[in-house]
């Protein structure tokens, strides 16, 4: 993966190449059969599509099947799902999944408009509400419905900024306190600056292969035990309860069944904390806490690196950064690094089963992956 | 499929819905497990992404896995490939593949810039050359290298306009002569107006399922015998010979092997004639004629509806229309209609094996599908 940066100065292929080459070298594979590229905004911001052929060419792998997969901010997660299906199909064995996004170098209105492409442009975008504004509605309703104070939710960004201190690829290396969060500028009431992930460029990648083939390249491949995608009605106004992401519940239920595990078996977590409240809701919707009690897991130390369920150990969207179409791939790559003891200073003690949750739009697309240690 | 129109007045979901509902009703399936949406330009033109959840919501199928697949003008072809892999993966059975594009309602410079997203924006787009201009370079070189006169190539649009007369969904219902083509306005020398596909809105869809399950819904399912995607270096300037699309050769070679057939076995063809010369080159690169001899097949009647190799029987990109991200799906849907005797006035006499070729960019991504009659 590349460092996430709002000043990368790099083009889409430059970002992708760095991550792809690192992934291929780390995997030790001698060939790539196909490439799946997760990306959300290249058409709108860079006026560039056709990222499949663009990236296969940049990588010197012209010839192989390659295309872009898009599911808003879950583009990386759904690209991973496409890669898993490609391997399961038997048509391709050694598959490169990459996610890339370039968000810097544009004005705030441009990026804000780009993010609203995740919602219904016609019916919701036309009202003028922003993507942060929609998430602020969720935060307000969540706090009200469950009586959870903002300060409790604010513990999540505090933890994630702490985790990111050890991650050389993190966008932010800055410790913050609950007080810092609560005093940071309002972005969309009640969300404050430190409740929100930032704008950043980045790319991440990993290599998939059938397990028997993967064993030729490494003694301890990480097993993809589940890959599940679910959707929900696209827009917030269509939901009976905006404090629950049904697509998270559905995708995780399928993933648990596919992997033959229970939430209690998960000992490493990557959740989509684009906004602090989303990270808290994820803990609930994925089955780790009842509704309204997600923040307790953070505040009781369960989600800490030395807790029972280390969460976003590289800093999460909040502090590692959120280059939208790449984020789902960062999450899976980070799980894989942890599960193969390659997480460096971010390493937690011998995790066995990790789960990643990648969210597109306002919970409208959710991709869940479960990875297991084999070594 | 919807009629292709430059005055549809319809939104992306409206276009998609019509095709999707028609496909589901025709297939007679009682459920949809997942949705793959081929589209190229929605981010750039409509400022709308997240077409997976947008379309699953519009269709009342919220919940199912759904995402967008993009490979420039081959987006429909690669979406079909993603759908085939999903079925082969065993994770999903009844899969809806749709393609949708809305290109009308924008200025020519806007659509022209949108099409250049298929090429390398940084290195090629920045020179100011247009997508038609790049194809004009190919046409010029092709005519020069093989000594093929423009008039010979112009027979293809004449045939396709003829074929489209019987297709109610065709964008153009207008008979043209070689003289009409040669006298039509220059777009990019030597390409003239009737060498070029037009701008249009449209959507197409079909339903995939494992063959044994498909037999529950119909006595004569069409078998997908092959689905292959290949890429080439993205840009024209990187190619040793711009009169050959290596990705066409590679994808078709793989597809023939997968289907266990030879070009001689193909008796129905859909080629990507975005520009007349590309249709002629396709006949060669897919193995039906030696280089320079493609136009002979058209001029000798081989490609006619009553010939040995009926080609683009619904009018092709030239006359049925080319809503870019949808076109690859139109092609496969048209093959399926022919192979199940549902092609109406476009029907040819009992074809058995059909091949579709969908091209993205300047031959940089090619998806080939081979379909077989089963009934």
Q: Does A82 touch chain B (CB under 8 A)?
A: yes
Residues of chain A with Cβ-Cβ distance to B10 below 8 Å are none
Contact B117 A49 (CB under 8 A): yes
Q: Does B90 touch chain A (CB under 8 A)?
A: yes
Under 8 Å CB pairs connecting chains A and B tally to 226
How close is the nearest chain B Cα to the Cα of A228, in Å? 8
pLDDT value of residue B159: 98
Give per-residue pLDDT as tens, B122-179: 999 999 999 999 999 999 999 999 999 999 999 999 999 999 999 999 999 999 999 9
- Cβ-based neighbour number of residue A293 at 10 Å: 14
Provide mean pLDDT across the span B42-57.
98
A222 DSSP assignment? P
> How many Å lie between the alpha carbon of A368 and the closest alpha carbon of chain B?
11
**Rounded distance between C-alpha atoms, residue B127 and residue B148, angstroms:** 29
Pairing of strands A353-360, A365-372: antiparallel
Could you give the CA distance from residue A35 to residue A52 in angstroms, rounded to a whole number?
7
Question: Does A365 contact B66 at a Cβ distance shorter than 8 Å?
Answer: yes
β-sheet bridge partners, residue B358: B367
Chain A residues with CB-CB distance to B52 below 8 A: 70-71, 78, 231, 360, 365
Give the model's pLDDT for residue B202.
98
A44 interfaces chain B, CB cutoff of 8 Å: yes
d(CA B162, CA B176): 8
Please tell me the predicted confidence (pLDDT) of residue B161.
98
A63–B40 C-beta distance less than 8 A:
no
Q: Which residues of B touch A121 (CB under 8 A)?
A: 46-48
Chain position carrying tokens 């990557």: A270
Beta strand segments in B4-77, E: 34-38, 66-70
- Considering just the CA atoms, what is the radius of gyration of chain A in Å? 19
Chain A nearest-CA distance from B291, in A, is 21
Q: Tell whether B55 is within 8 A of chain A (Cβ).
A: no
Query: What's the CA gap between A304 and A22, in Å, rounded?
Result: 28
Are B329 and B202 in contact, with CB atoms under 8 Å apart? no
Mark yes or no for CB contact A78/B52 under 8 Å.
Answer: yes
**Maximum alpha-carbon separation in chain A:** 56
Chain CA centroid to CA B30, Å: 28
Chain A nearest-CA residue for B73: A50
B339 touches chain A (CB under 8 A): no
Tell if the CB–CB gap between B85 and A91 is shorter than 8 Å: yes
B88, B119, B231 ranked by CB distance to A90: nearest: B88
From the CA atom positions of chain B, what is the Rg in Å? 19
Q: Which residues of B touch A64 (CB under 8 A)?
A: 230-231
State how far residue B166 is from chain A, nearest Cα, in angstroms.
34
Given the cut 0.85, state whether the ipTM is greater than it: yes
Chain B CB contacts of A85 under 8 Å are 82, 85-86, 88-89, 91
Asked if A67 and A39 count as a contact pair (C-beta separation under 8 A), the reply is no
**pLDDT for the residue B375:** 73
Q: Give the distance between the most distant pair of CA atoms in chain B.
A: 56
pLDDT of residue A220: 87
Residue A213: the pLDDT is 95
| Chain B: residue whose CA lies nearest to A73 | B50
Which residue among A50, A121, A227 places its CB closest to the CB of B48? A121
Residue closest to A98 by CA, chosen among A343, A361, A327, A278? A327
CA nearest to A111 within chain B: B47
Nearest-angstrom CA–CA distance, B14 and A368: 30
Using CA atoms, how far residue A250 sits from A225, A242, A257, in Å, is: 17, 15, 11
Tell me the CA distances in angstroms from B315 to A133, B168, B339, B355, one per residue in order: 47, 10, 17, 15
Which residue out of A61, A67, A91 would a mutagenesis test of the B interface target, given it has the greatest number of B Cβ atoms within 10 Å? A67
Instruction: Average pLDDT across each block of 10 residues of chain A; the chain has 375 residues. List them in order.
Output: 97 98 96 98 98 98 97 98 98 98 97 97 94 98 98 98 98 98 98 97 98 93 98 97 98 98 98 98 98 98 98 98 98 98 97 98 98 92
Per-residue confidence (pLDDT) for residue A85, from 0 to 100: 98
User: Is B64 near chain A, with CB under 8 Å?
Assistant: yes
Does the pLDDT at position B38 exceed 90?
Answer: yes
* A113: chain B residues, CB-CB within 8 Å: 47
Shortest Cα distance, chain A CAs vs residue B149, angstroms: 31
Backbone angles phi, psi at A342, to 5 degrees: -115, 20
Residues 13-42 of B with CB under 8 A from A: 34, 40-42
How many Å apart are CA A226 and CA B66, to the nearest integer?
17
Contact A284, A292 (CB under 8 A): yes
Cβ atoms of B279 and B250 within 8 Å: the answer is no
User: Pairing relation of β-strands B365-372 and B353-360?
Assistant: antiparallel
**Is some CB atom of chain A closer than 8 A to the CB atom of B107?**
no
Residue B106 half-sphere exposure toward CB, CA atoms < 13 A: 21
In the set A73, A196, A303, A346, the catalytic residue is A73
Nearby residues of B267 by Cβ (< 8 Å), 6 or more positions away: B308, B309, B310, B351, B352, B353, B354
Is B73 an annotated catalytic residue? Answer: yes
State whether A231 and B84 contact (CB < 8 Å).
no
Q: Which residues of B touch A54 (CB under 8 A)?
A: 120, 234
Return the pLDDT at A375. 73
Write the CA distances from A319 to A274, A312, A314, integer angstroms: 10, 9, 8
CA distances from residue A123 to A119, A133, A234, A321, B44 in whole angstroms, order as listed: 9, 15, 11, 29, 18
| Residue from the list B53, B64, B234 with its beta carbon closest to the beta carbon of A364 | B53
> Has A73 been annotated as catalytic?
yes
Using DSSP bridges, classify how beta strands B353-360 and B268-270 pair: parallel, antiparallel or unpaired. Answer: parallel
Query: Are B71 and A71 in contact (CB < 8 Å)?
Result: no
| B252 close to A (CB below 8 A) | no
Of B161, B322, B346, B369, which one is the catalytic site residue?
B322
Cβ atoms < 10 Å from Cβ of B296:
17
How far away is chain A from the Cα of B232, in angstroms, using its nearest Cα? 5
A194 secondary structure, DSSP code: G
Q: Select from A330, A333, A254, A248 the least CA-distant residue to A283.
A: A248
Query: Residue A113's closest CA among A199, A9, A11?
Result: A199
B225 close to A (CB below 8 A): no
B235/A57 touch (CB, cutoff 8 Å), yes or no:
yes
A151: closest CA among A178, A176, A175, A177?
Answer: A178
A71–B68: do the CB atoms touch at under 8 Å? yes
Interface subset of A 108-167, CB within 8 angstroms of B: 113-114, 116-122, 125
């Amino acid at each position: 993966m590349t460092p996430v940066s709002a000043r990368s100065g790099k083009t889409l292929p430059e970002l992708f190449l760095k991550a792809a080459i690192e992934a291929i070298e780390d995997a030790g594979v001698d060939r790539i059969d196909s490439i799946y590229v997760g990306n959300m905004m290249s058409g709108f911001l860079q006026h560039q599509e056709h990222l499949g052929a663009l990236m296969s060419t940049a990588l010197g792998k012209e010839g192989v099947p390659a295309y872009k997969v898009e599911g808003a901010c879950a583009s990386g997660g759904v690209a991973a799902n496409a890669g898993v299906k490609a391997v399961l199909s038997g048509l391709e064995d050694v598959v490169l999944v990459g996610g890339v996004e370039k968000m810097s170098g544009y004005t705030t209105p441009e990026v804000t408009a780009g993010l609203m492409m995740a919602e219904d442009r016609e019916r919701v975008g036309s009202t003028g509400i922003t993507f942060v504004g929609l998430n602020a509605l969720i935060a307000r309703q969540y706090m009200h419905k469950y009586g959870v104070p903002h300060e409790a939710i604010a513990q999540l960004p505090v933890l994630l900024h702490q985790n990111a201190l050890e991650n050389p690829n993190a966008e932010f290396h800055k410790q913050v306190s609950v007080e810092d969060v609560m005093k940071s500028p309002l972005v969309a009431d009640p969300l404050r600056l430190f409740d929100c992930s930032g704008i950043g460029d980045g790319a991440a990648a990993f290599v998939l292969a059938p397990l028997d083939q993967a064993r030729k390249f490494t003694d301890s491949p990480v097993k993809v035990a589940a890959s599940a995608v679910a959707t929900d009605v696209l827009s917030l106004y269509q939901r009976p309860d905006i404090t629950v992401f049904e697509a998270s519940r559905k995708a995780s239920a399928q993933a648990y069944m596919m992997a033959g595990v229970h939430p209690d078996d998960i000992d490493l977590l990557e959740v989509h904390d684009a906004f602090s409240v989303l990270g808290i809701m994820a803990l609930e919707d994925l089955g780790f806490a009842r509704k309204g009690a997600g923040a307790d897991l953070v505040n009781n130390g369960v989600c800490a690196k030395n807790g029972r369920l280390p969460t976003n150990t590289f800093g999460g969207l909040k502090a590692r950064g959120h280059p939208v179409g790449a984020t789902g791939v960062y999450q899976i790559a980070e799980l894989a690094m942890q599960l193969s003891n390659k997480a460096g200073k971010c390493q937690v003690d011998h995790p066995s089963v990790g789960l990643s949750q990648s969210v597109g739009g306002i919970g409208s697309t959710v991709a869940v992956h479960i990875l297991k240690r084999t070594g």
